[in-house]
Chain A
């Protein structure tokens, strides 16, 4: 168990800043996801936590102690790699036992510990097999077992499930979450898949181009995205964005979209404006409802262009003026293509972003 503090950390490769001024505090025993597109700096951050890379500037602290120059083997961490990095010349048993063998523990102890870990992961009967005979799914479990064997205080997982098939992936997600609860260990999970991050993590750190965009609970990053990047990245169907102008009425803001037939929307701002004069409004597809085009509640009118029937829900694509919008509706709602529809939105779910900084005002 360990608490982690990343203070003002920058990692530079040549002239390229892979991670810039990262500040992050991870409480003991929490499950944190580092989420972002490829090249956002999440893996670099991971490698600095593991000690495979040294920060160019700033400090990394484990339980209040600076570990910048501490060797990976002395950090009390477990690391699961995206490609598993299984030692194929060894049996499953020897792979799991590796960390203990390096530390020259007595044979009986190794035997006992390995059996225990294997039991926990349900791979006891595979221990004596050669790793070349194991399935990808079992290899992933062996890799997790190998990282667990030294009882590390911190678990680092770098996209560990991205090579698994979909069914087993969701099973492993649940297993890992359960495992983390049982072990009560600090777990840091790198992923580019927002569903994975949302479903497992207690807190999510979203990164883009080397910078931290937002750090919060899944609920926070979904409902109160700090900026336009987070708003667009989180959510299984991407948020709709429309240009807008702002007018003040008392404490409230009135949004007027330059779309033909659009009615203004009144919202309550969360943070002050920053002198910018161009804005974008955002509304998630699941926060829009389809209504009769003549309805007084319709905020916007559009024409249906495409329907994705996903089973539990349908995604309706439509055009309004020259903008494309997506709406998530119940599976029973099936408008015809070319049909004119009205859109009603929940004004409490509307976001407003400043165009220059991307910062969220609402």
Chain B
């Protein structure tokens, strides 16, 4: 019986793993397959690249790989520009949301800033899908000369992820006893000093988690970048959707190559802050 349960458990875990990891496996292998291996032309499925190649990467970075395969990208920029755009907009947009959101969350949690309404109205920002408001925002951004600029994307990324930061950070701050900051104030800290030296270090695990969450949201945004930018400023997800060629149409091999590159920053970030990701918040020392 026990063996049966174990077997069932292993089977279930394996199934879930296959479902989750298959797309990653397919993307990574496809990135290294020549065109006739990822297209159905050969009438054969290649589970692993038969003749591994870096051509897919060369193409998106503007190189012209050997042979006659002509490659026409509909935008005048290459992958490097789009990755730089994405890095800048996602990073600064996330930082903006984190800084403003963390302070807002502390105010709501500790001082009940805005009464009971502020927290709720912050949440309102997320009540409709972004698509519902993106067109008015487009007019506004055009009027403010923010359309198709990095600054414009940074501001909108900061704004749309701000509510997540507020609500996540508020829940972390709520768990820090009031006395922690009071003790620091009695010991001579200012309100800000108490926040900075005594409260913030206690929630740094939560802050790291929030940062990663928000960065992934901004990094993988497609819709906002498509509408509010896309001419001069093209982000990587938008660029990915535009990799086509006259010869083969949709260039899935090159898209997979860019996909592999796009996985890297969030992956590196999670590895870097991994030890903070598990909520290692030790409130054990504080009896309530």
Contact = CB atoms under 8 A, between A and B. Distances in A.
A32 to B, nearest CB: 19
Contacts, number: 84
Given A132-B285, A163-B287, A85 B189 contact: no
Contact of B177 (A50, A78, A79, A83): A83
A146 B201 CA distance: 18
Interface stretch (B125-133, B180-188, B243-251): B180-188
Nearest to A104: B188
B284 A81 contact: no
B285 A150 contact: no
A323 B189 CA distance: 57
B2 interface: no
A73 B187 contact: yes
Interface size class of B (residues with CB under 8 A): 20 to 34
Interface in A157-175: 163
A87 B198 contact: yes
A136 B186 CA distance: 22
A116 to B, nearest CB: 18
Nearest to A103: B188
Interface string A68-110: 0001111001110111111111100000001100110000000
Nearest to A87: B198
Contacts of B190: 73
A98 B282 contact: no
B193 A85 contact: no
Given A84-B285, A85-B180, A85-B286, A102 B193 contact: yes
Nearest to B204: A89
Given A87-B198, A136-B287, A102 B189 contact: yes
A66 interface: no
Contacts of A51: 186
B60 interface: no
A73 B189 contact: yes
Nearest to A51: B186
Interface in B180-218: 180, 182-190, 193, 197-198, 201-202, 204
A139 interface: yes
Interface in B249-288: 282-288
A72 B202 contact: no
A88 B183 contact: no
A213 B180 CA distance: 32
B179 A81 contact: yes
Interface string B61-102: 000000000000000000000000000000000000000000
A146 B183 contact: yes
Contact of A50 (B186, B198, B201): B186
B183 A81 contact: yes
A131 interface: yes
A52 B286 contact: no
B178 to A, nearest CB: 9
B184 A84 contact: no
A134 interface: yes
Nearest to A152: B186
Nearest to A131: B285
Interface string A228-255: 0000000000000000000000000000
A73 B181 CA distance: 12
A52 B187 contact: no
A101 B282 CA distance: 23
Contacts of B201: 87, 89-90
Contact of A72 (B186, B204, B284): B186
A99 B188 contact: yes
Contacts of B198: 87
Contact of B180 (A82, A87, A146): A87
A132 B280 CA distance: 11
Contact of A79 (B186, B202, B283, B288): B186
Given A85-B180, A89-B201, A73 B285 contact: no
Contacts of A52: 182, 185-186
Given A51-B186, A89-B201, A102-B187, 11 more contacts: A72-B182, A72-B186, A74-B188, A79-B186, A84-B287, A87-B198, A88-B286, A132-B284, A147-B186, A150-B187, A163-B287
Nearest 5 pairs of A and B residues by beta carbon: A73-B188, A85-B179, A85-B183, A89-B201, A99-B187
